[in-house]
């Protein structure tokens, strides 16, 4: 004798999530000052001179 278990009728079916398109935010263009230096560059230099780690300096200066 085989017994088959049936799903209760009040159980909801799993709904698949629809993927939502990702809208990428374009960074604002960096405008150099009269000396040709962008706002992120001095931050990068100061952070880099702190511990000679370019990755952390780039993150601190908010480069992508």
| pLDDT band (50, 70, 90) for residue 57 | very high
Confidence at residue 21, expressed as pLDDT on a 0 to 100 scale: 83
pTM: 0.56
pLDDT given at position 4: 64
- Give the domain ranges of the chain: 38-64
Q: Is the pLDDT of residue 1 over 60?
A: no
Q: What is the CA radius of gyration of the chain?
A: 27
The enclosing H or E element of 54 equals helix 54-60
What are the tens digits of pLDDT across the range 5-35?
Answer: 666 665 565 667 778 888 888 777 889 999 9
Mean pLDDT of all residues in the chain? 83
Q: Which helix (H) or strand (E) segment is 42 a member of?
A: helix 40-51
């Amino acid at each position: 004798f085989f017994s088959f278990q049936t799903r209760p009728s009040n159980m909801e079916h799993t709904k698949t999530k629809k993927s939502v398109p990702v809208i990428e935010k374009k960074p604002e263009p960096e405008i150099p000052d009269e000396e040709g230096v962008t706002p992120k560059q001095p931050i990068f230099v100061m952070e880099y001179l702190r511990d000679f780690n370019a990755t952390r300096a780039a993150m601190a200066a908010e480069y992508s």
